Amino acid sequence: YQDGSFRPNAKMTRAEMAVMIANALELSTKDIATTSFSDDKAIPAWAKSSVEALKELGIVKGIGAGEFNPSAQTTRAEAVIVLMNMLGQSK
């Protein structure tokens, strides 16, 4: 977090998860000003590059009408799906 703290028991947003997965995969996350999700304006600037890179790889997908829903808490089911998609990329 910005204050330098580590919060292992904090709930994680979908935007935070995207950034962590992109970092774990060592993806090149060039500065991307917009994503292809319909709720792009709700995605924080610090997460846009990671979100779009993961979408392009098929690791994350939209919810409903093509929304990413970045501030929603990541569910266990979503985390498992993303991790399985991530592992499929690393082969």
Could you read off the pLDDT of 51-87 as tens digits, one per residue? Answer: 999 999 999 988 888 999 999 999 999 999 998 998 8
Q: Give the chain's radius of gyration (CA, Å).
A: 13
Rounded-to-integer distance, Cα 29 and Cα 89, Å:
16
At residue 67, φ and ψ (nearest 5 deg) are: -90, 150
pTM here is: 0.85
Q: What percent of the chain has pLDDT over 90?
A: 57
pLDDT at 32: 83
Q: Please report which confidence band the pLDDT of residue 38 belongs to, taking 50, 70 and 90 as the band edges.
A: very high
Res 5 pLDDT > 80: yes
